[in-house]
Structure 1
Amino acid sequence: MKPFAKKLGAGLTANVVLLGIVSFFTDMSSEIIFPLLPFFLVFNLGASFFIIGIMEGVAEAVASVLKVFSGYWSDRAGKRKPFISSGYGQSAFTKLFFGLATIWQHVFVLRIVERVGKGLRQPPRDALIAESSPPERKGKAFGFQKAMDTGGAILGPLLAIILVSVFASAYQPIFLIAIIPAFVGFIITLFLKEKKKKKVLKAPLKVGLKQLPIRMRVFVAIATIFALGNFSVFFVMLRTVDLGQTVTMALVFYLIMNITYAFSAIPAGSLSDRIGRVPTIVTGYLLFAVVCFIFAFQTGPILIGIAFLVLGLSNGFAIAVQRAYVCDLAPEEIRATALGTYHMSIGFAKLFSGIMVGFLWTFVGVQFAFIYGVILSVMAATMLYGLPRK
């Protein structure tokens, strides 16, 4: 049996497992760097919350534009692997320079450039996961990928906690150490296998929703509304310290979130295979509303810990399952393009979200920033729940 078709575990193929391992090492690297990045920016380099919001919003928007083009190029070429490998490689090389940054403008640019790699790799990677999985196991495959991704995110903050105890607030040496697993993940992508496509996309690129099925257009619109309120975890980390917790304690809470995410992603994906994507995603949206409510009005460490736990559940129920649902709704020959369009819509929403939350926090009040998240999450959940099933 060819490696591509060989099933590993309960319906997981070789490509799905390899991509899971790649995600594990890549996210280990990212999650050493990125939980510390907001503190490095604010405490070491003097960036404001508004600057952080702009940075995160622009970074996600740039990545999203590339997701559309990489998805289209992948569909036209009938290949996934070259885009996946080059995207992971580009991110690995960029991470090297975080350890050399001396002003917040350096980090601003590097954060955007690092997201270029994600934009290049993600739609082809998601398409390869879908194409490597039987229809009844797609939800579980995406859940496995996100669980491995978050498994690396468990080890990453653990290493960050240890490294912070060694280097204190000298974050640059920690960032340099973090590039090692990033390069391991890149090397593993070279072992992916894919079938030659019998049918490839020949139509010109059409950025937008018109080429997509109507049901997918409606879902993308609803998911975009949720993304408008689903702001960067940077703000959650900064809010934790703002409420009187230490950076180390914030990392511990962040670790709780990632552990919860890792253990909920596969069950949530499998649940969506059984009861449907929509009820599972709606649950994730409402859980995020609970998180925002807690951070808006509560201050105690126990409730903060609960909020991070619920945030992990929200990610497990919403993020991976949303991508599986897009793959369900998109025809195979434009699947990567559809995923790219979906990611573009989400990314531009996050551009507005980052700027809006940074503005509200800086100029209006931190509670208003989190209330904004509650309103948008509940709105999206209500609209999606009311969507006809067929």
Structure 2
Amino acid sequence: MDQGKRNAIKFVILMGIVSLFGDMVYETARGIMGPYLGSLGASAFAIGLVFGLGEFLGYVLRIVAGVLIDKTRGYWWFVFIGYGLISAIPLIGLTDSWLVASTFIIMERVGKSLRAPAKDTLLSIHTAGIGKGKIFGIHELADQFGAVLGPFLFYLMLVFGLGYKNSLLLLFIPFALMMVVIVIAKLFAEKVPVEKEKEVITDKKKARIYYYLYLTFIFFTSLGFIGFPVISYHAVKVGMINDKVVPLVYAAVMVMDALFAIPIGVLYDRFKIRIMTVLPFLTAITVLAFTKNIVFFFVAILVWGIIMAAYETVIRAFVGDNVPISERGKYYGIFNTVLGISMMIGNSIAGYLYEISITYIVGFVVLMQVLAIVMIGVILATYKNNSNNSGV
């Protein structure tokens, strides 16, 4: 392996450490903020509104951020500002007002909309010839380690009697470490060969066709990808698991995500778009979680973790492989927005159907995956006669 590739791996590890520390802060908050806002006097409706608004802004603004990133090429400015807004989470420990705390929560989500397309673009262009699937896989491994470690350490702080406020303020430590590593990563990025426009698709019209076909595929398959909150709600309701073990079950799912991130990324680098044909079939398996069989339930949620690994690695790698650098920030922004909206709509439909009949949920999931299979078939047929460097 030449020095350029070694530096590319070191760079993605540094960016992974950035995400690790970031996850230690905001993923921890996402787990405890509902009850905490309630303790400050917020109603259930207000809590739902705050998180709903935060997620909406966090996804919709990614399109705007992506366009600005492409126009300015200010990748690192968006990274610094976006990650800097994570400081809003430990600041919650300084207030007794749920309104102020809610404002901080929304600020962090806005920060997410700024940093996500910039980070994805930086990862996609600093590859030095290493497959993008592997690059995103390495990054996801570190990212998920932080997502598991953060809530666990926060739990220990509560156990030792520090309370919510002091525990939140202590999150300034991983935040500060994160900002230091961002500076190091920026300085180190200068040693990594940057991907040139000629190394990717140069026919922008074809690139857009592939991109939107792919985006339609992702929309359908993610529409039928039921979120963990709905699945865990069912498991507790029917008595398969106790509500106290739900965090441990979710941690196990995140471990599966981390373990499969790199292997899935490597498979993508070898098989490219063809590996996506597996995704609808895996998603269909997750309906087993809605039975009353504990074995089926654990099979389903472990598969759910593998699917999450795919969402965080190969589906992003495809965008980097098939969108020109000059428009990559914009199209990463569109991609993240569509993904977020489809999951939001899909889970809302699933929650509604659950109140009617579980059979309807199964039918909905299967129907969406059939549509996704049709779309991936169209994409594969298009690629069959395509001579670009997609590897297909």
Q: For the structure 1 residues 354 and 282, does the alpha-carbon distance in structure 2 shift closer, same or farther, using more than 3 Å as the test?
A: same
Give the whole-Å Cα distance in 2 for the aligned partners of 1:171 and 1:320: 34
Q: Give the equivalent residue in structure 2 for 1:153.
A: 147
- Once the two structures are TM-superposed, the CA of residue 350 in structure 1 deviates from its matched residue by 3.2
Q: Give the equivalent residue in structure 2 for 1:230.
A: 225
Q: CA RMSD in A?
A: 3.6
Task: Give yes or no for the alignment of 1:183 onto 2:176.
Answer: yes
Amino acid of the residue matched to residue 29 of structure 2?
Answer: I
Amino acid of the residue matched to residue 224 of structure 2?
Answer: G
Aligned length: 369
Give the whole-Å Cα distance in 1 for the aligned partners of 2:138 and 2:84: 22
Q: For the structure 1 residues 286 and 156, does the alpha-carbon distance in structure 2 shift closer, same or farther, using more than 3 Å as the test?
A: farther
- Once the two structures are TM-superposed, the CA of residue 308 in structure 1 deviates from its matched residue by 2.6
Helix, strand or coil at the partner of 1:133: coil
Helix, strand or coil at the partner of 1:346: helix
1:206-245 Cα offsets, whole Å, 9 max, x none, are xxx9895211111011112223233543334444443443
Task: Give yes or no for the alignment of 1:131 onto 2:128.
Answer: no
1:307-327 Cα offsets, whole Å, 9 max, x none, are 332211111123311010011
- Once the two structures are TM-superposed, the CA of residue 188 in structure 1 deviates from its matched residue by 1.7
Give the whole-Å Cα distance in 2 for the aligned partners of 1:39 and 1:365: 29
Q: Is the 8 A contact 1:212 1:330 kept in 2?
A: yes
Q: For the structure 1 residues 164 and 242, does the alpha-carbon distance in structure 2 shift closer, same or farther, using more than 3 Å as the test?
A: farther
Q: Give the equivalent residue in structure 1 for 2:262.
A: 266
Helix, strand or coil at the partner of 2:63: helix
Q: Give the equivalent residue in structure 1 for 2:376.
A: 384
- Once the two structures are TM-superposed, the CA of residue 378 in structure 1 deviates from its matched residue by 4.4
- Once the two structures are TM-superposed, the CA of residue 95 in structure 1 deviates from its matched residue by 4.8
Instruction: Determine which of 208, 211, 230 is the counterpart of 1:216.
Output: 211
Amino acid of the residue matched to residue 152 of structure 1?
Answer: G
Q: For the structure 1 residues 243 and 171, does the alpha-carbon distance in structure 2 shift closer, same or farther, using more than 3 Å as the test?
A: farther
Q: Give the equivalent residue in structure 2 for 1:20.
A: 16
Q: For the structure 1 residues 186 and 72, does the alpha-carbon distance in structure 2 shift closer, same or farther, using more than 3 Å as the test?
A: same
- Once the two structures are TM-superposed, the CA of residue 153 in structure 1 deviates from its matched residue by 1.7
Q: Give the equivalent residue in structure 2 for 1:305.
A: 298
| Equivalent runs, 1:284-295 vs 2, <5 Å | 284-291=279-286, 293-295=287-289
| Equivalent runs, 1:43-58 vs 2, <5 Å | 47=44, 52=48, 58=53
- Once the two structures are TM-superposed, the CA of residue 138 in structure 1 deviates from its matched residue by 1.3
Q: Is the 8 A contact 1:41 1:47 kept in 2?
A: no
- Once the two structures are TM-superposed, the CA of residue 271 in structure 1 deviates from its matched residue by 0.8
Moved more, 310-319 or 254-263: 310-319
1:110-142 Cα offsets, whole Å, 9 max, x none, are 544321111101111111111110344211001
- Once the two structures are TM-superposed, the CA of residue 69 in structure 1 deviates from its matched residue by 1.7
Q: For the structure 1 residues 231 and 327, does the alpha-carbon distance in structure 2 shift closer, same or farther, using more than 3 Å as the test?
A: same
Give the whole-Å Cα distance in 2 for the aligned partners of 1:198 and 1:287: 33
Q: Give the equivalent residue in structure 2 for 1:85.
A: 80
Amino acid of the residue matched to residue 220 of structure 1?
Answer: L
With the length of structure 1 as denominator, give the TM-score of the two structures.
Answer: 0.80
- Once the two structures are TM-superposed, the CA of residue 272 in structure 1 deviates from its matched residue by 0.6
1:173-228 Cα offsets, whole Å, 9 max, x none, are 5544445323321332122145699999xxxxxxxx98952111110111122232
Q: Is the 8 A contact 1:26 1:182 kept in 2?
A: yes
Unaligned runs of 5+ in 1: 201-208
Give the whole-Å Cα distance in 2 for the aligned partners of 1:57 and 1:263: 30
Instruction: Determine which of 58, 66, 89 is the counterpart of 2:61.
Output: 66
Q: Give the equivalent residue in structure 2 for 1:326.
A: 319
- Once the two structures are TM-superposed, the CA of residue 55 in structure 1 deviates from its matched residue by 5.7
With the length of structure 2 as denominator, give the TM-score of the two structures.
Answer: 0.79
Helix, strand or coil at the partner of 1:340: helix
| Equivalent runs, 1:364-383 vs 2, <5 Å | 364=356, 368=360, 372-383=364-375
Q: Give the equivalent residue in structure 2 for 1:206.
A: none
- Once the two structures are TM-superposed, the CA of residue 284 in structure 1 deviates from its matched residue by 3.3
Moved more, 378-387 or 180-189: 378-387
Identity between Structure 1 and Structure 2 (%): 24
Q: Is the 8 A contact 2:123 2:135 kept in 1?
A: yes
- Once the two structures are TM-superposed, the CA of residue 56 in structure 1 deviates from its matched residue by 5.4
